[in-house]
Structure 1
Amino acid sequence: MNKKNKANWKAKVETGFESLGLVMGRRPWLWLLSCLAVVGVMASQLGRLEKDTSIEGFLEKGSVEIQRYDAFKETFGRDEVFIITMEVEDIFTQTFATQLHALHRQLEDEVPHVNKVDSLVNARYTHGADDTLYIEELLPETLPGDPVELEKLKRYTYNSDNYKNFLISADGHMVAMLVRLNSFNFTKDKNGNWHRGYMGEDETREADAKIREILEPYRGVISDDIRLTGSMPIAIMLSQILERDFSVFSGLANLLIGMVLFMIFRRLSGVFMPLLIMTLGVVVTMSLMAILGSPIQVSTSILPAFLLAVCVGDSIHLLTIFYRNYDAGDEKHHAMASAMGHTGLAMLFTSVTTAAGLASFATSDLTPVSALGIYGALGSLIAFLLTIFILPCLIAILPVKRRPLQQDENKGLQPMLAWFARVSTQYPKIIVVSGVVLFVAATAVASQIKFSHYPLAWLPEDNETLQGIKNYEQRMGSTISFEILLDTGKDRGVINAPLLQALDKIQQDVVTWESPDWRIVKAISVVNVIKESNRALHDNDEAQFAVPDDPALISQELFLVELDEPDDILNLVDKTYQTARLTVTTPWFDAIHTKELVDRLRDHLNANLQPYGVDVSFTGVAPIMGVTFGKMLISTAESYGFAAIIITLMMVMLIGNLKLGLLSMIPSLLPILIVLAILQLLDVRLDMLTMLVGSIAIGLTVDDNIHFMHGFRKLYLKTGDPAYAVEKTLLSTGRAMLITSIVLSIGFSIYTQSLMSNMIIFGLITAGCIVLALLATYLLAPALMVLANKQYHQQHPHKSVAEMKPDAAPVQ
């Protein structure tokens, strides 16, 4: 395709947008009502939009990880828990024992969806006498009257490896109760058929509310310090914060963006029309999620506020040119159509580049991140369509007063834009060299940035649930569980003395593991029950606290425990004794290090259990999410490159020149690199949310560049003078770029009102990128264009623009 044809297709597209504006201007009501009818039909589906914050919702349905986790929950129950902690002076008082039993029964009877409550009430006191095995309650409702028996019970409780730092602290003054919910819920359809589903947030919140209600009368009675914490309350609290942020962000975004639009345009129409397009853009995008069955999840909860900011950009550019044409005396219909022709192509490219940046998330392993990419990209394109099909109709229908042009000329905006044009064209070499040096330096620093995923660090320090987690970990040692399934491949394969002895050795080894980033506190399996029972059957001899060599004895011990406490056994092995469960607990640590711990555990288990043909697999919330988040962070970093390549190709297509297209990406990428470099210097790590800023920002920061390059290209093709083209572009399109950047930066700065630190950082990073992108477009982009087209000045050093022929062509 020759240069003339390259220019022609752009001219045809621009003419097409102008013609569309003329057509809509003739019958605005028909177009408007047709568009609103489509929006209304889609909006009618909003009621089907659901919310999903479950662990299963993070991964694709049918994935290997989810299948394995479902199988685990079917056999052993779910690993997420509510933890109730109580500070007590002495647990071995009759008053405390009576109250704890009452609380335990009430939790089992009244908490909805409850599966099991673990506490000292149903913990095992395993002891022997006269070759008989006795399994009793660790803390009976009526304490032994015999001081000797009571002392034995105390000694057993405080020294039990099974319950110390789990149900009772090492100092004996903190007691914990663990409430576990059912793994699944069952619903009946209209035909009477039952369907199994995942326990959702609604059920979890019901349980949470009831537990809090039950605990209230016990405060100051059973204990002066009762706290509710655990993985489930943390998940509920994060969801509540997101709901609060959703409302706050949406309200503030509308208010602040409306105020900024009024201050800039000083017209009610300049406020009403963009806000309407913003609102419709959010409604249509969220309706599309409902229609396609995509629920609101953790990351997609930022979509409404994000779309409010993004949807307004196209409206601002179109209205800025329309008001300028209209105030200059053009008839409203033609002023609108001319604005469509002037900005349509640039708006199309900015919408597509923003969509491309977001679409790079679509291949993420995490469905919330993938959904953010898909619906963020669709939302950007929907905003463009709403702008070109509804905004022109509103302009044609609504009364718009003409305003004298000179009102804007005396303001500080024009002199400021002229100053940027003058500096960028007079000192292009200094600006470009400085920009390139900064680009290289920022790249070097940003390449060292580290990743993180540590939800506890996002929460306010005074948060009650966070304080409860920290208090429990300080006293008990661990809150996170790594569930490991050991499949022997045959019935009763677990009852193998050498295998169990090897597992015992593994458990003793791993509890000594510690690194700067994590440490293992406890390891629990069926081995603990066997050792406990073996000691009891040997007259409580501590030397017999071990796995016996005789498989028949092991089988007998497990049979005796199963007779008395079947749930205790079936919580550690499956019904056929083919698969054993090994639970390794740690304090809550940064998920980015999960793969390191899982790999080390897997290697150690395989090395020691391979001779017995055991298949080792990991499941549970911690290993699934930790490993998946680690992969997601890496894949997201890789998506930056994909987004940059796609956007670069589009810039080359828009400009029609490979060299200029590549050069134009420097001002677009530099702001992101600078912000990432600053984060690295401040030792701020990128997590699941802040990691998204790169692909989001690259789509947004390139918008200013596209509008500048589009305006510059048109003027340069007419005059051949890059300095003149820079000045006129900044004095016209530069105003719309400034308005858009102000609105976008304010829109994202709203995230600073979040209660979560990572959301605040996300807002600051994105707002900072947008401001830096505007400065780069005002200074670096013009300087690059002047140097890239300096041949004209070398050939015509003294020729003014007024002296040029109308058909003068640029020198390439």
Structure 2
Amino acid sequence: MHKIFSFGFWNSIASLILRNRIAIIIIIGVATFLLSTQWKNMRFSHTEANLMPDDHEVNLSYNDFLDKFGEEGNLILLGIQDSELFTPEKFAAWNKLTDKLLTYPEVDQIISPSSLKELKKFEDPKRFEMVPALESKTPTEQELKDFEDKLFTALPFYENLVYSTHSNTIQSALYLNKDLVNTKARKIFVLEELNPLIEKFEAEHDIDVRVSGMPYIRTLNAQNIVDEIGLFIAAALLVTSFIFFLFFRSLRATLISMITVCIGVMWAFGVIGLLHYEITILTALIPPLIIVIGIPNCIFLINKYQQEIKKHGNQAKSLQRVITKVGNATLLTNVTTASGFATFILTDSQLLKEFGVVASINILAIFLLSLLIIPVIYSYLKPPKDRHLKHLNKKWIGGFVNWMENMVRHNRIAIYISSIVLLVLSIIGIYTIRISGSILEDMPQNTQFYKDIRFFEREFDGVMPLEILIDTKRPKGVLKLSTLKRINELEDFITEVPELSKPLSINRLVKYSKQAYYNGNPKYYQLPSSQERNFIMPYAKSLSSNEGIMQSYVDSTGQYARITTFMKDVGTEKMKEIENDLLPEIKKIFPEDRYEVSLTGKALLFQKGTNYLVKNLIISLGLAILLIAGLMAWMFRSFRMILISLVPNLLPLLVTAGVMGFLGVPIKPSTILVFSIAFGISVDDTIHFLAKYRQELKANDWKIKRSVYAALRETGVSMFYTSIVLFFGFSVFMISSFGGTVALGGLVSATLLFAMLANLLLLPSLLLSLERSIANKEVLKEPAMKILESEEDENEWDSIDKEN
């Protein structure tokens, strides 16, 4: 009954498609048009991707910080390492540039040598005021030289803020409007205003300007993602169409396949827009992914059509049989691949959920498009000529199949030994893998903005903010001398950490107040004593009106303070060490009964998010394995067959992990993604092989050897074709400028190649070696799903043909 239902169901589908060709073309056209109208809803994120749930304690802590002090990642840095900067011509030019930048609504304020202010003490009334450090608007060369000397020797307040202690490097700090920094306005300002202005300045004055800061890095990084989407799509189309043409030697077949996957790409963009998802580094991979996964569908369908034409020459019968015989197998393989991606939906990461939703929907969509478009287009074309069918008899393919059969027949021991050696080496390699949460590691390293990041790391000890939020639990608690001393003690500890920059806090202003009280003598740049504090307070009261300084590091109630330090890009492991060193010191300096102190900031947020994402990806891989094992159990009704089918698919994953360990490729979001993608795709080959094997067992009276070799010859060619397409298709990701995307492309390609060899060599070897335990009808019962055609189906077709 089930068999008749399966045959009848797909026969009905075939009839429905071929009898309603015009309606199907119209429906696909309308659906494509409607989805294209959703493209306008696609948007690119203007903030870093949130790798953790909103209710995660790390996110709650960060949001609490933002409530107190606002957006922390609003600083763009302009750096100059030029010995002639403090000459009248170049200094005037730099002054003009910063004045121009200050006119933009996106820029709130600029701290720059040309507009530097100095804290001065005044009597009558007693007060401190910030006055221009350089009084003349058109300073002479001597005045500039004196100003340079004063800046580097007498103004420690501006250390690492305006000048570097490592060299004579100068920087200007642009504070962007906090309301605009996470909007499209930031992108427009950086790409259309700031960069052209800097380029013009460099050309006119022969000064090399380095630009960095989180808003700048995020903008250029996002733009690189946008630029690469088109590159990936073009490269994927070019590579897969070229390989497809080499296999089929038919421009017509190649063009039909390209039309199919191009519509699939249009649908992918439409789904992203329909769901109002952002384009991230993950969702940007989906359109080329659809091309790479869609082409094997086209290969199976077109190859079967040509085989049928060669067999009997009847076009109508060939198209009917393509849908009926290949539809079920192609549906099943696409469902397993989509299931692998769908496991991401079950994770707690919004980034992964969105990727899983869009990928799984569009993998099923490309199956549907392939099943509808290819038979319908071919129905309007003349049957292929003999020259289009020559590829079906290629001798080199026969040689490859004979080599596989010979290996399985005569060298099974060598296959097992090789597999065990690979397994042992892989386990050794796995133990050397490290986890990386580096923000910079995956960024395009040949770009100028990446080189500028490294420049600021050398000169100013980092660009990624790490924040420490201090709650004194009482209003005005920050300005108590005991609190200031505790802050100072923690800052001294931070200064000793080589990966962290000299901190910024309210203490800088308090120390500067004492220096100003002693008429600017730099040796008094330190916290005042209790007695000195009483003398200084009458002068310092005037500073409370200077909200730009006070509100940056102390909230309006005086209860909360922040310490800002900038980190070098050190990666997850080193960041964890720094955190483990800081937390005990913080607890020692700030008693928990009197203070509440938390670590936060972009650097920590990314590190924690990376660990969280890696954990979720490992969970999703485990879910994918369980889900696909469940599908295999449902299909074959045999626990032993589940074990046999998982071995050749898990071994390539272990080998890839071992290779990562030996090559020093770390576990990070982009590389851990490899395993779920590769497993979901590689298991398709196993399904094809085992389905054909079960079929051959019935046809050959349960004779194992004959059935294994027949299945190997039958499925080997199509598995080789699809694996080659997948290998080169995923290899296009290696042209990316993002290190993570390069690793993803290379590792998935290598894993799928390992998986093909494992399914063509190890899987049949296992079936032959374990023939006694599996060669019976109890182990291989009638499957829950008919996957490939059998001789009985052929008889049914013959009877239908006679009736017609």
TM-score normalised to structure 2 length: 0.88
Find the partner of 2:716 among 709, 725, 734.
Answer: 734
Per-residue CA shift, 1:306-336, capped at 9, x if unaligned?
Answer: 1110122222222222221221015333323
Instruction: Label 1:78 to 1:398 Cα distance change in 2 as closer, same or farther (>3 A).
Output: farther
Q: Which moved more, 1:759-768 or 1:633-642?
A: 633-642
Q: Structure 1 residue 726: deviation in Å? A: 2.6
Q: 1:56 to 1:449 in 2, by over 3 A?
A: closer
Asked whether the equivalents of residues 121 and 129 of structure 2 are also in contact (C-alpha less than 8 Å), the reply is yes
Change (3 A) 1:253 1:437: same
Q: What is the alpha-carbon distance in structure 2 between the residues aligned to residue 771 and residue 125 of structure 1?
A: 66
Alignment CA distance shift 1:248-1:92 (3 Å) = closer
Which amino acid in structure 1 is aligned with residue 438 of structure 2? Answer: Y
- Matched with 1:452 is 436
| Residues 637-652 of structure 1 aligned to structure 2 (within 5 Å) | 637-652=618-633
Secondary structure at the counterpart of residue 83 of structure 1 = strand
Q: Is it true that 1:384 corresponds to 2:359 in the alignment? A: no
Q: Does the 8 Å contact 1:54/1:201 carry over to 2? A: no
1:535 aligns with 2:535: no
**Taking structure 1 as reference, are residues 180 and 441 closer, same or farther at Cα in structure 2, changes over 3 Å only?**
same
Alpha-carbon contact 1:422-1:727 (below 8 Å) kept = no
Match of 2:163 in 1: 168
Q: Is the Cα contact below 8 Å between 1:527 and 1:547 reproduced in 2?
A: no
Q: Is 1:42–2:22 an aligned residue pair?
A: no
**Separation (CA, whole Å) in 2 of partners of 1:304 and 1:410:** 33
Paired with 1:767 and 1:544, the residues of 2 have a C-alpha distance of 59
Q: How does 1:410-429 map to 2 (within 5 A)?
A: 410-429=394-413
What is the 5 A alignment of 1:538-687?
Answer: 538-540=518-520, 542-543=523-524, 545-549=526-530, 556=538, 558-563=540-545, 565-591=546-572, 593-610=574-591, 613-687=594-668
Does residue 503 of structure 1 match 2:490? no
Q: Which residue of 1 aligns with 2:261?
A: 278
Q: Distance in 2 between matches of 1:549 and 1:612?
A: 24
Moved more, 613-622 or 362-371: 362-371
Tell me, yes or no, if the aligned pair for 2:52 and 2:613 is still in contact at 8 Å.
no
Q: Counterpart of 1:381 in 2: which secondary structure?
A: helix
Task: State the match for 2:222 in structure 1.
Answer: 239
Distance (whole Å) between structure 2 residues aligned to residue 317 and residue 762 of structure 1: 26
Following the alignment from structure 2 to structure 1, what is the Cα–Cα distance between the partners of residues 564 and 597? 13
Query: In the alignment, what sits opposite 1:126?
Result: 119
Amino acid at match of 1:576: T
Report the CA distance shift for 1:335/1:222 in structure 2 as closer, same or farther (over 3 A): closer
Kindly report which structure 2 residues correspond to 1:140-219, keeping only aligned pairs within 5 A, or say none.
140-142=135-137, 154-155=149-150, 157-170=152-165, 173-185=168-180, 199-201=182-184, 203-219=186-202
- What is the CA–CA distance in structure 1 between the aligned matches of 2:753 and 2:140, rounded to whole Å? 75
Question: What is the distance in 2 between the residues matched to 1:119 and 1:709?
Answer: 70
* Residue-by-residue CA offset, 1:411-457 (whole Å, 9 max, x unaligned): 21123213312321344344245424433442443254222233434
Q: Does 1:464 align with 2:464?
A: no
Secondary structure of the structure 2 residue equivalent to 1:262: helix
The alignment partner of 1:494 has SS state of: coil
Distance 1:632 1:680, change over 3 A: same
Q: 2:729 aligns with which of 747, 764, 784?
A: 747
Tell me how far apart the structure 2 counterparts of residues 475 and 82 of structure 1 sit (CA, whole Å).
15
Q: Which residue of 2 aligns with 1:188?
A: none
Closer/same/farther in 2, CA of residues 256 and 539 from structure 1, 3 Å limit = closer
Query: Which piece of structure 1 moves more, 204-213 or 297-306?
Result: 204-213
* Amino acid across the alignment from 1:771: L
Q: Specify the alignment match of 2:800 in structure 1.
A: none
Q: How far does residue 100 in structure 1 lie from its aligned partner after superposition?
A: 3.7
In the alignment, is the contact (CA less than 8 A) between 2:213 and 2:464 conserved in 1?
no
CA distance in 2, matches of 1:145, 1:278: 67
Q: CA–CA distance in 1 between the matches of 2:688 and 2:310?
A: 22
Q: 2:132 aligns with which of 137, 143, 153?
A: 137
Q: Does the Cα contact within 8 Å between 1:355 and 1:377 map onto a contact in 2?
A: yes
2:787 is matched with none
Whether the 8 Å contact between 1:106 and 1:214 is mirrored in structure 2 is: no
> Following the alignment from structure 2 to structure 1, what is the Cα–Cα distance between the partners of residues 191 and 394?
61
SS across alignment from 1:176: strand
Which of 456, 459, 479 is the aligned partner of 2:463? 479
Task: Give 1:679 deviation, angstroms.
Answer: 1.9
Report the identity percentage: 20
Unaligned runs of 5+ in 1: 1-7, 186-197, 796-805, 808-812
Matched residue SS, 1:125: strand
The answer to whether the aligner puts 1:108 opposite 2:96 as a matched pair is no
Tell me which of 674, 685, 688 is aligned to 1:704.
685
1:493 pairs, out of 474, 477, 482, with 477
**Partners in 2 of 1:412 and 1:150 — Cα distance?**
78
Q: Is the 8 A contact 1:484 1:617 kept in 2?
A: yes
Determine if contact 2:80/2:208 at 8 Å carries over to the other structure: yes
**Contact 1:427/1:783, CA 8 A, preserved across alignment:** no
For 1:617 and 1:77, the matched residues in 2 are separated by 17
C-alpha displacement of 1:283: 1.8
Alpha-carbon spacing, 1:434–1:591, altered in 2? closer, same or farther (3 Å): closer
| SS in structure 1 of the partner of residue 279 of structure 2 | coil
SS of aligned partner of 1:162: helix
Following superposition, the deviation at residue 77 of structure 1 comes to 4.0
Residues 496, 11 of structure 1: CA spacing in aligned structure 2 closer, same or farther, 3 A cutoff?
farther
Instruction: Indicate if the aligned counterparts of 1:85 and 1:176 stay in contact, CA closer than 8 A.
Output: yes
- Relative to structure 1, the CA distance from residue 338 to residue 497 in structure 2 (aligned partners, 3 Å threshold; closer, same or farther) is same
Instruction: Give me the whole-angstrom Cα distance separating, in 2, the residues matched to 1:793 and 1:147.
Output: 96
Aligned counterparts of 1:641 and 1:407: Cα–Cα separation in 2: 40
1:522 maps to 502
Indicate the residue corresponding to 1:191 in structure 2: none
The change in CA–CA distance for 1:409 and 1:171 in structure 2 (over 3 A counts) is: closer
Q: CA deviation at 1:155?
A: 3.8
Q: 1:122 to 1:691 in 2, by over 3 A?
A: farther
The 3-state SS of whatever aligns with 1:84 is: strand
Return the alpha-carbon distance in structure 1 between the equivalents of residues 254 and 576 of structure 2: 50
Quote the residue 1:786 is aligned against: 768
C-alpha deviation, 1:359, in angstroms = 2.4
Correspondence for 2:795:
none
Distance 1:140 1:729 in 2: 88
In 1, Cα distance between equivalents of 2:453 and 2:140: 36
**Alpha-carbon separation, structure 1, partners of 2:672 and 2:536:** 51
* Displacement of 1:548: 3.6
Equivalent in the alignment of 2:18? 25
Alignment match, 1:194: none
Aligned counterpart, 2:784: none
Superposed CA deviations along residues 72-119 of structure 1, whole A, max 9, x for unmatched, are 456344324322112232665555554443222211103x52222222
1: CA distance, partners of 2:62 / 2:586:
20
| CA positional deviation for 1:533 | 0.5
Q: Report what 2:81 is aligned to.
A: 87
Aligned partner letter, 1:391: I
Q: Secondary structure at the match of 1:689?
A: helix
- Residues 245 and 448 of structure 1, relative CA distance in 2, 3 Å threshold: same
In 2: Cα distance, 1:210 partner to 1:533 partner? 37
- Residue 753 (structure 2) pairs with residue 771 (structure 1): yes
What letter corresponds to residue 276 of structure 2 in structure 1? G
The CA deviation string for residues 348-407 of structure 1, in whole angstroms up to 9 with x for no partner, is 232122122222333455533332222112221222222334333333333332538676
Are positions 1:761 and 2:737 aligned together?
Answer: no
* TM-score, normalised by the number of residues in structure 1: 0.87
Q: CA deviation at 1:59?
A: 5.5
Displacement after TM superposition at 1:536 (Å): 2.3
* Distance 1:148-1:446 versus aligned 2 partners, 3 A rule: closer
Q: Gaps spanning 5+ residues in structure 2: where?
A: 778-790, 793-804
> What is the CA distance between 1:547 and its match in structure 2?
4.2
